[in-house]
Structure 1
Amino acid sequence: MLDLGGPRIRTLLALLTANAGRVTSVGTMVEALWGPQSPPDAQRTVRSYISRLRRALTVDRLIVTHPAGYVLRLEPYVVDARRFERLVETGRDALCAGRPADAAEQLSLALTLWRGEAYGEFTATPALRAEAARLEGLRLGAVEDRVDADLATGAGVSLVEELTGLTDRHPGRERLWGQLMTALYRAGRQAEALDAYLRARTLLVDRFGLDPSPRLSEIHQQVLDNDAQLFGVPLAAPSEPARDDLPGDVADFAGREAELILLEAARATGRPAVVIQAIDGMAGVGKTTLVVHAAHRFAADYHDRLFIDLHGHASNQPPVTAMAALDALLRALGVPPDRIPQDPDARAALWRAELATRSVLVVLDNAADAAQVRPLLPGTSRSLTLITSRRRLVDLDATQVVSLDVLPEADAVALFTSVAGGDRADCPVHEVVALCGHLPLAIRIAAARLRARPAWTVGYLAERLRQAHSPLTEFAAGDRSVAAAFALSYEHLGAPQRRVFRLLGVHPGPDFDAYATAALAGVDLPEAERLLESLVDDHLLQEPAPGRYRFHDLVRQHAHAVALTDEPEPLRHKALRRVVDYYLHTAHNGSRLLDQQHPPITVDPADCVPHPLPDSAAAMAWFDANHRCVLAARTAAEDAGWDTVVWQLAWSLDNFHYRRGHLHDNIASWQVGLVAAERLGDLAVQARAHRRLGLVYAPLGRDAEALLHLRRSLVLAEQVGDTLGRAGAHLVLALALTWQQDDHGVLAHLTRARDLYHRIGNTQWEVRALSMMGASYTRLGHHARARRFCESALTLCLRHNDVYGQADTLDSLGAIAANTGDHHQALHHYGRALALWRDLDNTYRQAGTLAALGDTHRDLGEREQARQCWQEAIDLYRRQNLHLAADRIAQRSQ
């Protein structure tokens, strides 16, 4: 016996055991332990309890942490409840197969596992009370099955006492009354059998408002008629003909093999537990098609097949209520209307009772939410329930959820070809399904339109989709429309969700997070997170990575169209400006963290909260995640005529672009930044833009353009009296001339830059000029002088904690050591520089230092080490699209 401590930790273990093999969320645990009035630190207390349980249980990895909560990993035979369910299933299979003796043995073994009430100590906990009620229902069903097995082997007299007690305790179980009447009749007590029927009928009418079922009335008549069949016919044999309400299967079904395998595996491993599978996904993704196809595949294993459309997302009628759905389902099973109770709980109980001895496949299509379908779920292991919904039914208990994504390319092509006809397929099919977003509904409509128009080719269809002013209009045929399907999902949202959905349609980037959404919608961060998650649950947004959200391409088009029609233009304009300002302010703050020596700019306050960036590592992570969004914000600002924002975004991206080697993106940013500055007439900004363009053009081998921009920058800086800008222009001119191997010209510009930096007291940039002078002197053969410059520069960098300057100077010292034949010292300096570049996450400079390391290893005769360094440098340059630099290194390794 384990000594676990207080009742809460015992309740927690009971909850984990009840869900053995399945995830129990922390929220479920908190609700179970404290109810709705949980303390603020409840989640932390739960984690503390889990730690104590792990120590007490001693078995490694018995309780496993899962992103959604915790899982108790137990083999099925360890838990009595699971052993019971497995034995019951085996017994029922034997009974159905006509082996009553085997059935009685297995069912009796199952029932011996019971020792009092299930979870008796814990039934005050709602979750465990529900599990106990489920198990009690299974136990009663197992008792009834065992009695049927005994009756099928000829028993009668021996069962009378047991059945009398059972009917006293469970007067609403008609099957027990029928069994008691049969046992009494077999014992020669015909009058008592008839009296049992009268008592059963009176109880059913007075207490439950129900008339006896046709089966119980049939047994009554058999007793009256002295029917010999009561001596040998099992009572569980179904007398009604099979019911099959499934819609026809789709002839051109394609793909979804992985999902079908998953559904089949759940059916196999789920037994003897109730198997409930929910399939969710965005509009048009093929949920109903998959479920109907799966239902036809599994149909032979079930006596009855029921289908009901719950109209969770319908334009012309409200969702079907649970009461109405139960009425339809019970009638489908042959229950007379006058036996269907008006009380919701009684109606749901009758539904579960009807399924208790049946093998039924139930399809609940187009569910609105979990509350709608929860009363429709069976309580017996003989049934399979398949549910479809556009909304994630995360709060539906005992359910396996399969979220459908769009089709993989091969399956999308197969579907298009199947619908359009194989003779119509040609090369552009891959492009067409891509333009359809691999969405099955869009693919079916596009293929059907092609099939209906013999003059069209696949290439012509692809061109129509590419050139369409409103692409969604191309995905409509007859009463099928992708836009209409999306519109239904949109209409079923609450007002706040609809507003943020359409505003996200004007978001300029390919994806977004909660901070950007908060700025766009003008709401606080918790509200933005709540709205985003609700749209994910409704499959109107995707969450490809934690905290990052995006639209499916066609849904984005719909969101943009809805924004144009439903959101007034002034409000759209304000929302766009808020989110552009968010990207500007966050990028500006991030750029300052990446290089605090970078000449600053002043950004006007804005009505937004920037993303918090505590350090340079956080800044780089934010830029990596949001780079395309910031570029898109710059384009949006350019289109809107916000010229100041355009050049400020170019400035804010500059440091990141340099660290990551995104030189082509930097050129594009500064080109539009220069045009914006020219429209503003701001000469100082123009000088800055020319200087940055020159810096980027030089390593790309575009020397003439680099020098043209840099000389123009120098002229403009002198014109406006910008000494810092003049110094910067000279420094960058020196860098450009370095690529041309003009070290005399380099030194002339560096000397001028150093003097200007010294004049204005800018020690950090003076140090960098000194470091570059050292590198230039060593290339000219003046190694001692070069070393003095660099050592002085390194001392100043260390004094001012200038990490970037340290790395730059160590590179220069490495070059000096290599040029003087001290290759081991060169390796030391380059190694320290590389470590600093990696700390700074500057992949552009890492590549240059790795190339120099490779050269030094080569000079030492260490060819393998040299090859490794060169290859790493080549890979870094290629990832940054700097193929000229990569090719130069590749030539060394040949």
Structure 2
Amino acid sequence: MRELEFAVLGPLEVRESGAPIRLTGMRRRRLLALLLLRFPHTVAREFLVDALWETPPASARQQVHNAIRDLRAALTATTGSGVLSTTATGYRLEVPPEAVDAHRFTEGARAARAARREGREAEAVRLFRSALDLWRGEAFAGIDCPAVSAAAAGLEEERLTAIEELTELRLAAGESATLVAELFSLTAAHPLRDALRGHLMLALHRSGRQADALAVYDEGRRLLVDELGLEPGRDLRRLHTEILTDTQEDRRTPKPPTTDTPTPTSTPPPTRQATEDHHRPTPHTHHGNHLPRDLPDFTGRTAELALLNSETDAHHSTTPLTHPAAPSTIVIDGMGGIGKTALAIHFAHRRTPDHPDGQHYIDLHGFTPDRDPLTPEEALGILLRSDGAPPEEIPTGPAERSAAWRSRQAGRRALLVLDNAADAAQVTPLLPGAGDTLTLITTRRKSAAPDGAHRLTLGPLPQGEAETLFRRVAGESRTYEAARNPRTDTAEEKPRTDASAREPRTTGPAGDSRTNTPAGKPRPATSLARTVTLCGHHPLALRLAATRLRDRPSWTVPDLADRLSTPEGRTALLRTADRDLMSVLALSRTRLPAEAQRLAHLLARHPSTTHDIEAACAITGLAAPLVEHLLDTLLDHNLADEPTPAHVALPLLVRDCAQSWNPPKAPQLQENPRRLTVVA
């Protein structure tokens, strides 16, 4: 079967086996261009109508339908197969990605950058040249449509960036005079691009034309000052100074020493990397990996990792025409100690190969004891320094630092982990504005997600993953008896005095029953299952409990479960020399208003585990609107769950923690024992 090719890097063309297919009519050509903009995704009918008409006529949808029919007929007549399909929401081109030249260009440039990072400069030059050879003129030339023009501008920016990187490689390989004419033409067409002007100055200087190189700088400076009131960029000014003082070093790749010409021992020749780093007008260096170590015993989160991979892959598959190099942001929220940071770091390490231009990490201290959260200005200073910015060149002021950070990340494929965020206002100035950067944010608050971010709420571990984590930390030898000798939680076991033992039992985390069956008979469970349930399927609690068992050889899993069976036992047991679960959970209290603290305290002391608005009003004596607002606050801080609409439940460990709170009594919030009796 003969295949179609779609060429957009120049006038729009459709080719069959290299021969052009004639498409008549501007509307038909606009329609095809709009379909290619969103390729390989479905294009909604509403988008086509809005893009084709400034004021759509009543017959717009029918006209689009007719134009699609004609376009389908023109494309199908030669191939004999359908390449334009109709879906429930719109239309989609059914061709392989490589059938579109813009896709081949983007992938070729990406492969060239990968080769350059790996030190294969000659291959990088070849790949850049092959990608740029696909261009035949201005992208989508001759198509008069605002949406198409915007996409064409994005593609042109990618082309110029690729040209700059190719020129940089050619200069590093020793070319100079052969580049001058080409660079004069490019600089005349794009006089405000510092990188092109810097490359031209460097090529002239190396060709023995110092005066011409300085004249090129003076011309560019006058243009910037007259038109924009700006001075040239720092790198261009530095290059000008070096040429002016004739201190610019040769950036050619050093030749290896031979037997005829020994290498001097007193002053070794500068490496190509060193000279490139010092004199490069527009840096494209490889940046370091600043991620913390991944947990060697990271366990579970299979569903969450699959979702994160799906979100990231979907972002990377976005067409380069409509969203070239767009940043992506994912927010992971959840209660303290639930494993947000561990998941983010584990996922970041797995996706590092996809983001080779730097992996950054910063703890924003949104919930850190005895210190305030970082301000955006402080955080940006840390990020800029980790990215290699000299201290003297880091601007003052949050707006200026944010602009500098966005400028450094533009065009990169980097990865950024913003850990322990306090709120959206803290993280928004840190987000890149352009470039294929993946940002992972961890926070205890749902509302900390900035606009446009994908959000993942992290809950307790499923039963199987919780038991696996416990075994890995405690050691199989310490948990084997629980699997071999199941123990039944019956009324004959050690009496339990906590509120959870007296209440009608409800479904626990991950849908595991922690209670008596409707018939009133206890449900059998192994001691290990009971232990992880009493830990709330909470990763930090499981690690602390398993560590206790590992370090106490005389204890068995049933012993541990009995010790965890009361709030006092859990509070005392779930701590080590350097970690205390209740202290970790209590950090959220510092961000709660006094009334919300008091509400959580009263709900935690109540024997019921699930409350609706009416019950919460009875417990607190507050009006329904205020109670609903306070419950929303607890939900936002992940201190409560909503098992069903208009019903909230405090997780077991949050109840243990909140019972010990002694917040200042709000004037409207007083405990009513008589109402407690009614609800109970």
- TM-score, normalized by the shorter chain, greater than 0.5: yes
SS in 2 for 1:573: coil
Contact 1:275 1:383 in 2 (8 A): yes
| Coordinate RMSD, CA, aligned | 4.7
- Aligned match for 1:102, one of 93, 118, 130: 130
SS in 2 for 1:308: strand
TM-aligned CA deviation for residue 357 of structure 1: 4.5
Q: Where does residue 671 of structure 2 map in the other structure?
A: 573
Contact 1:277 1:401 in 2 (8 A): yes
TM-aligned CA deviation for residue 525 of structure 1: 3.7
SS in 2 for 1:312: coil
What are the ranges of 5 or more consecutive residues in structure 1 without an aligned counterpart?
4-12, 23-48, 64-72, 122-131, 582-632, 637-894
Q: Where does residue 62 of structure 1 map in the other structure?
A: 89
Q: Where does residue 512 of structure 1 map in the other structure?
A: 611
Q: Where does residue 320 of structure 1 map in the other structure?
A: 374
Contact 1:238 1:358 in 2 (8 A): no
Q: Where does residue 314 of structure 2 map in the other structure?
A: 269
Query: Could you say which structure has the greater relative contact order, defined with CA pairs below 8 angstroms and 6 or more residues apart?
Result: 2
Q: Where does residue 758 of structure 1 map in the other structure?
A: none
Q: Where does residue 252 of structure 2 map in the other structure?
A: 229
In the TM superposition, what whole-angstrom CA distance separates every residue of 1:227-271 from its partner, at most 9, and x where no partner exists?
A: 373999996996756422222221221111222233233333212
Letter in 2 for 1:309: D
Q: Where does residue 332 of structure 2 map in the other structure?
A: 279
TM-aligned CA deviation for residue 533 of structure 1: 2.6
Letter in 2 for 1:265: S
Q: Where does residue 111 of structure 2 map in the other structure?
A: 93
Task: Give me the whole-angstrom Cα distance separating, in 1, the residues matched to 2:59 and 2:675.
Answer: 49
Q: Where does residue 503 of structure 2 map in the other structure?
A: none
TM-aligned CA deviation for residue 483 of structure 1: 0.8
Contact 2:422 2:443 in 1 (8 A): yes
Contact 2:239 2:248 in 1 (8 A): no
Q: Where does residue 214 of structure 2 map in the other structure?
A: 194
SS in 1 for 2:344: helix
Q: 1:211 to 1:91 in 2, by over 3 A?
A: closer
Instruction: Find out whether 1:415 has 2:443 as its counterpart.
Output: no
Letter in 1 for 2:400: A
Task: Give me the whole-angstrom Cα distance separating, in 2, the residues matched to 1:117 and 1:500.
Answer: 57
- Aligned match for 1:401, one of 442, 455, 480: 455
Letter in 2 for 1:516: A
1:572-721 residue pairs with structure 2 within 5 A? 572-574=670-672, 577-578=674-675, 633=679, 636=680
Q: Where does residue 580 of structure 2 map in the other structure?
A: 481
TM-aligned CA deviation for residue 215 of structure 1: 8.3
Task: Give me the whole-angstrom Cα distance separating, in 2, the residues matched to 1:528 and 1:56.
Answer: 54
SS in 2 for 1:401: strand
Contact 1:103 1:146 in 2 (8 A): no
Q: Where does residue 550 of structure 2 map in the other structure?
A: 451
Task: Give me the whole-angstrom Cα distance separating, in 2, the residues matched to 1:343 and 1:119.
Answer: 36
Contact 1:413 1:433 in 2 (8 A): yes
Q: Where does residue 535 of structure 2 map in the other structure?
A: 436
Instruction: Find out whether 1:387 has 2:441 as its counterpart.
Output: yes
Letter in 2 for 1:474: L
In the TM superposition, what whole-angstrom CA distance separates every residue of 1:56-105 from its partner, at most 9, and x where no partner exists?
A: 98876429xxxxxxxxx9889999xx997995465333344311113324
Contact 2:467 2:532 in 1 (8 A): yes
1:295-374 residue pairs with structure 2 within 5 A? 295-301=348-354, 302-374=356-428
Contact 1:194 1:220 in 2 (8 A): yes
Contact 1:250 1:293 in 2 (8 A): yes
- Aligned match for 2:162, one of 132, 141, 145: 145
Contact 1:306 1:361 in 2 (8 A): yes
- Larger mean Cα displacement after TM superposition, 240-249 or 456-465: 240-249
Task: Give me the whole-angstrom Cα distance separating, in 2, the residues matched to 1:228 and 1:480.
Answer: 53
TM-aligned CA deviation for residue 464 of structure 1: 0.6
Q: Where does residue 40 of structure 1 map in the other structure?
A: none
Q: 1:215 to 1:558 in 2, by over 3 A?
A: farther
TM-aligned CA deviation for residue 413 of structure 1: 0.9
Q: Where does residue 178 of structure 1 map in the other structure?
A: 198
Contact 1:83 1:110 in 2 (8 A): no
Task: Give the count of matched residue pairs.
Answer: 516
Task: Give me the whole-angstrom Cα distance separating, in 2, the residues matched to 1:226 and 1:237.
Answer: 17
1:828-867 residue pairs with structure 2 within 5 A? none
Q: Where does residue 346 of structure 2 map in the other structure?
A: 293
SS in 2 for 1:278: strand
Q: 1:88 to 1:341 in 2, by over 3 A?
A: farther
Q: Where does residue 710 of structure 1 map in the other structure?
A: none
Contact 1:420 1:448 in 2 (8 A): yes
SS in 2 for 1:385: strand
Q: 1:77 to 1:500 in 2, by over 3 A?
A: farther
Instruction: Find out whether 1:553 has 2:570 as its counterpart.
Output: no
What are the ranges of 5 or more consecutive residues in structure 2 without an aligned counterpart?
1-24, 28-33, 44-55, 66-85, 116-123, 171-177, 255-271, 317-324, 483-526
Contact 1:144 1:175 in 2 (8 A): no
Q: 1:151 to 1:284 in 2, by over 3 A?
A: closer
Instruction: Find out whether 1:157 has 2:191 as its counterpart.
Output: no
TM-aligned CA deviation for residue 536 of structure 1: 1.8
Letter in 1 for 2:163: R
Task: Give me the whole-angstrom Cα distance separating, in 1, the residues matched to 2:624 and 2:668.
Answer: 23
Higher helix proportion, which one? 1
SS in 2 for 1:365: strand
Task: Give me the whole-angstrom Cα distance separating, in 2, the residues matched to 1:421 and 1:433.
Answer: 15
In the TM superposition, what whole-angstrom CA distance separates every residue of 1:190-217 from its partner, at most 9, and x where no partner exists?
A: 4343344467789699847974379857
Task: Give me the whole-angstrom Cα distance separating, in 2, the residues matched to 1:542 and 1:90.
Answer: 48
Contact 2:431 2:439 in 1 (8 A): yes
Task: Give me the whole-angstrom Cα distance separating, in 1, the residues matched to 2:637 and 2:332.
Answer: 13
Contact 2:621 2:670 in 1 (8 A): no
Letter in 1 for 2:132: A
Q: Radius of gyration: which is bigger? A: 1
In the TM superposition, what whole-angstrom CA distance separates every residue of 1:373-412 from its partner, at most 9, and x where no partner exists?
A: 1121123334322211111256513422222111111111
TM-aligned CA deviation for residue 435 of structure 1: 0.5
TM-aligned CA deviation for residue 120 of structure 1: 11
SS in 2 for 1:282: coil
Contact 1:391 1:539 in 2 (8 A): yes
Task: Give me the whole-angstrom Cα distance separating, in 2, the residues matched to 1:332 and 1:406.
Answer: 34
TM-aligned CA deviation for residue 364 of structure 1: 1.0
SS in 1 for 2:610: coil
Contact 1:305 1:360 in 2 (8 A): yes
TM-aligned CA deviation for residue 438 of structure 1: 0.4
Q: Where does residue 260 of structure 2 map in the other structure?
A: none
Contact 2:380 2:398 in 1 (8 A): no
Task: Give me the whole-angstrom Cα distance separating, in 2, the residues matched to 1:83 and 1:74.
Answer: 17
Q: 1:380 to 1:548 in 2, by over 3 A?
A: same
Task: Give me the whole-angstrom Cα distance separating, in 2, the residues matched to 1:495 and 1:429.
Answer: 38
Task: Give me the whole-angstrom Cα distance separating, in 2, the residues matched to 1:89 and 1:114.
Answer: 25
Contact 2:594 2:666 in 1 (8 A): no
Q: 1:570 to 1:548 in 2, by over 3 A?
A: closer
% identity of equivalent residues: 34
SS in 2 for 1:283: coil
Q: 1:457 to 1:84 in 2, by over 3 A?
A: same
TM-aligned CA deviation for residue 447 of structure 1: 0.9
Contact 1:502 1:567 in 2 (8 A): no
In the TM superposition, what whole-angstrom CA distance separates every residue of 1:755-801 from its partner, at most 9, and x where no partner exists?
A: xxxxxxxxxxxxxxxxxxxxxxxxxxxxxxxxxxxxxxxxxxxxxxx
TM-aligned CA deviation for residue 322 of structure 1: 1.2
In the TM superposition, what whole-angstrom CA distance separates every residue of 1:553-599 from its partner, at most 9, and x where no partner exists?
A: 11122223326x6559996532x544765xxxxxxxxxxxxxxxxxx
Task: Give me the whole-angstrom Cα distance separating, in 1, the residues matched to 2:413 and 2:337.
Answer: 31
TM-aligned CA deviation for residue 476 of structure 1: 1.2
Contact 2:326 2:434 in 1 (8 A): yes
Contact 1:472 1:483 in 2 (8 A): yes
